[in-house]
Structure 1
Amino acid sequence: MSVGTHGESYVNPPAPAPEASRNGGVGLDDLVQIATKIRNAVESVVEGKPRAVRLALTVLLAEGHLLIEDVPGVGKTLLAKALARSIDCSVRRVQFTPDLLPSDITGVSAYNAERGEFEFKPGPVFANIVVGDEINRASPKTQSALLECMEERQVTVDGATYPLESPFMVIATQNPVEMEGTYPLPEAQRDRFTARISMGYPDPAAELEMIDSHGRSSPLERLTPVAHAHDVRALAEAVRQVHLSPGVRQYAIDLITATRKHPDLRLGASPRATLQLVRAARAYAALDDRDYVVPDDLQALAVPVLAHRLLPTPEALLERRTPEQVVAALVERLPVPGPRR
């Protein structure tokens, strides 16, 4: 499926030194060290899920948003909270329920009798990390309150626009749509999530360890921050400098275009998906201590970044062909760009 990942194949011209490194800020080596601290902190709470933790960290460094979907009780909220607590920044949690209103998320203008004027009361979305628990239990109207802030990093209330502080990340959990009391996320909402991951059940060894570590108290209570908000901003800046060769760029475009032409899909990946796939690939490469992207990075991220955005045809649904299967087949089939000479 993949080719060798030797640096000389895809670094031509060589990637420029990260701006942060040139200015005495965070370089690639610093990025790996800080990211490793965050990953170790999260994995001390979430046992046996290294891939899920790495994907969550990838989305954070790509300045994206994460959707965690799975059945109840497998650690979706625990992963979201652990990632949030490992960083010393503002964190707000929103429990999505059917009676939740959009203003409960964005905030509301209230009349101040003493001052004789309306003043804005910020909602929980005004935080660096917003944990949305069971997002698909709220109505589509309430879900849509996140559209502007996730895409434009701002909130508009009563004609006034309020910017959101960087870094800003929404980590949402949801139950599968076939479960009782859920509303499917609108296509526009799903498209704003950089990646969707599933936790899955832990293996027996990890579950046995969980009994010991979670038996008396939650390890989440003992988790202390290992990075700061300014660290995350510097890491994101370093990730932007990771090199993307013309061949790898074309490979990303070929993969996206193939989803738009596939007979099993009535809705392919959007241009937003292209940008988020590339951003995530840069972060994924940086976590491997590389300042260049290889096709393997795009292949590893194709399913979590693309599958939740795609809509299968009725025929594909009847034959139980899922978007995940379609994307995996495209990755297998598409030719990989060769080394540049």
Structure 2
Amino acid sequence: MGWISWGNWNDWGEWSDAPRMLDTLGSTYGDCIEVIAALEVEVSYAIWLPLTQNWLYQCRLNSLGKVRLKPEMPPYVAGWGSYCSTINLEKVESGDPAFRFSQDSTASNFGAFPHEGDHPDYSPVYDALLVLVSAGLSKMNAYVAFGLTAVQVISALCGEPDDTINEAERLMAEYEYPEYPVNGSFSPESSCWYCWEIRANSNDYVTFTLEYDFGAYEFLNPPSPAQVVHLINSSTWGIPTPPPRDRMTPEEKDRYGFVELSIHDIEKQASEFGVSFEKIKGFVREEESVYILTNLEVKLESSNFTSKIEPIRHKTSDDI
């Protein structure tokens, strides 16, 4: 297979050389602002579900958003900043009747800043979150300075998405970033954290699309209407699923990073592979071993950035 182009940002080679983590950086312009987004996605592990004879894949996303005035704009003006982040996941038609999205509603699987709500205990996913945020900051800081460190970003995350769709073939989550109460402007920096799951049959190939939309607000030229500048990354992913866990050859087990977590020390072993105890406590109750894949074959089939500008549409009585 050939090279995969990410515009001017980076290039990857053959699928076999591609990392499991997708790191993207893109930018666009409004009338008065520049909008930058860094997106990190990881399909981190899969668990064998003995009852349904399926693999359950754990997927994670963290994004960083940055908005700044164009160089020709006067400094210290209000009326611009981070407005919203939207995540859309959809199944691509395949022969796998078992393919379905699912959502683990554990509080540590969500978060955004600036945002209202509680700050969850992120300790079960802290290492994975730290890796993704750090990777995003590395990309972002190579282009424009981000004010917070990875630890500060995680400390600032709070709340659940403001709007969601949780369906077997589609997931959607939207985070709305509030105005700063001090000066009536929006934050120049933002972040969101979102996790989801995919259930798939063995010996198949499942495909899904991921669309991430970072929206920035600008209202700097009255009487012109306020508008949202959207920077959108669209990607398509494919996962070749292995055989059932009891039919895997030694070579396949080695290739997929097959690991059996013994019931006698399951919590400690699970944490070493980034698997939260919430995910395996059902196995503990049934005194069953847990079988996981730690080296997944995940293929990035396509990816591109686009942008659009939309006026702010105020709600009417028809929307209520």
Same fold flag (TM > 0.5): no
User: TM-score under structure 2 normalisation?
Assistant: 0.25
Q: TM-score, normalised by structure 1?
A: 0.24
